[in-house]
Amino acid sequence: MSNRMWGGRYESGPAEIMAEINASIDFDKRLAEQDIRGSVAHAAMLGAAGILPEADAEAIQAGLQTVRDEIRAGSFAFSRELEDIHMNVESRLRDLIGPAAGRLHTARSRNDQVATDMKLWVRDTIDAVDGQIADLMGALAEAALAGAGIVMPGFTHLQSAQPVTFGHHLLAYVEMLARDRGRFSDARARLNECPLGAAALAGTSFPIDRHRTASELGFDRPTANSLDSVADRDFVLEVLAAASICAIHLSRFAEEIVLWTTPQFGFVRLSDAYTTGSSIMPQKRNPDAAELVRGKSGRVVGALQGLLMVLKGLPLAYGKDMQEDKEGAFDALHTLSLSLAATAGMVRDMVPDADAMRRAAGAGYATATDLADWLVRALGLPFRDAHHVTGRIVGLASDRGAGLEELSLDEMQRVEPRITEAVFEVLGVDASVRSRTSYGGTAPDNVRAQARGWLERMRP
């Protein structure tokens, strides 16, 4: 049978496979709160503008509140025959208040309705994700403050490079996440225009007040072009792009946790709460939470790529292809939320092994740059010459199987006679990190100041 809500032209119903591919209620019922919120604002505007009798507008709004209560209580019966959330809500509204429910769709289309619903949902989700990112930043800043004096190896090419502090390393992720918050905030500001009232694609001849509806729904203004209003899914793309970058940041940190928890690194330990055992190897403690965060980033990035492909060849205005904007976005943003929560949990759970980190910090001649810098400062060598001298001294230490600080003064003077006993003051890892006092550097006092600054800025 044809859809009783809008199928007047049709004498028979769709093929079974058509009904299967066309119905979206299985996933777009997630938009129920937003759909009802938009409909309440639309009905109020229609009543205020005199387009609907005030009694009908009030009955519609009261009926919609009842529908919302039923959905929240779990007693609402969703129907696949009605295809989507809009028709499900309107059908139930008709059951509750009678023919007046049919007036709700005056001066709008499902095209502008779904665009509005999706904007409301994305905006709500951005606000929730922003709070989670802030929570993770706070957890990292607290851990950075506690680890400001813990020396660890800093890497380039995953090779030991220079000593840094554990707190400094963690604060790098705070900076990344702060940029993620900025991207979500920018996306939120750009999407905050209301499509409702654009109707199918050309606007409407009814004297509606789109500014009132936009204001009622918390938008800054109505959208300015009716074609763009219903065709636009840039806001979903932009949020998925921000989510993808954030997921990649989480994946990078997760990869470091995976490395740090291996016996070969042994930098941090996670409790049973964030690790699992092996079905055959009783000694194993697998960092599964970190591995899952790392793996789930692919789902988020995949959703962005999928929607880009959906939209790339679509002419204006609305096409049913655009129904494909939802499942990927719902899954990606849920996945990001889950990953943020798991990462914050791991940060609060992990216990650093300061001794293991310090031992590793001195490996691989990590203070070689400190030696080169000392040659520049103390002896006035050009840096390139100091680099060459340092390389020869590192080679000497490597031949001996010794650390730089284990070489004698006499051995170093064979390479550069002007070297004095004072050079040993810069060859330890603690002295190295203390010396990095430039703004943004790894010195413990810098790290403490930065961590406290972040915690102060994020304080409610």
* Strand-pair partners of 152: 164
- Residue 337 structure tokens: 């939320």
Task: Please calculate the CA angle 166-442-369 and round it to the nearest 5 degrees.
Answer: 110
Q: What span, in angstroms and rounded, lies between the C-alpha atoms of 326 and 332?
A: 10
Question: Is 91 annotated in the active site?
Answer: no
On whether the CB atoms of residues 310 and 324 are closer than 8 A, the answer is yes
Give the C-alpha distances (Å, rounded to integers) separating 66 from 73, 75, 94, 247: 10, 11, 12, 38
What element of type H or E holds 12? none
Query: 459 — alpha (psi -120 to 50), left (phi > 0) or beta?
Result: beta
DSSP code at position 314:
P
DSSP code at position 277:
-
268 phi and psi angles, rounded to 5 deg: -135, 160
Return the residue matching tokens 């840094």: 164
Question: Is 157 annotated in the active site?
Answer: yes
Per-residue b or e along 325-334, where b marks 16 or more CB atoms closer than 10 Å to that residue's CB: bbbbbbbbbe
Q: What span, in angstroms and rounded, lies between the C-alpha atoms of 352 and 358?
A: 11
Q: What proportions of the chain, in percent to the nearest 5, are helix, strand and coil?
A: 65, 5, 30
By CB atoms closer than 10 A (0-12, 13-18, 19+), residue 268 is buried
Residue 103's Cα: distance from chain center in Å? Answer: 40
SS3 428: coil
Residue type, 387: H
Q: What span, in angstroms and rounded, lies between the C-alpha atoms of 324 and 298?
A: 18
Task: Please calculate the CA angle 258-458-118 and round it to the nearest 5 degrees.
Answer: 80
SS3 99: helix
- Residue 55 structure tokens: 């009694």
Identify the active-site residue in 12, 157, 279, 438: 157
On whether the CB atoms of residues 252 and 139 are closer than 8 A, the answer is no
What element of type H or E holds 335? helix 325-349
- Hey, which residues are catalytic here? 157, 278
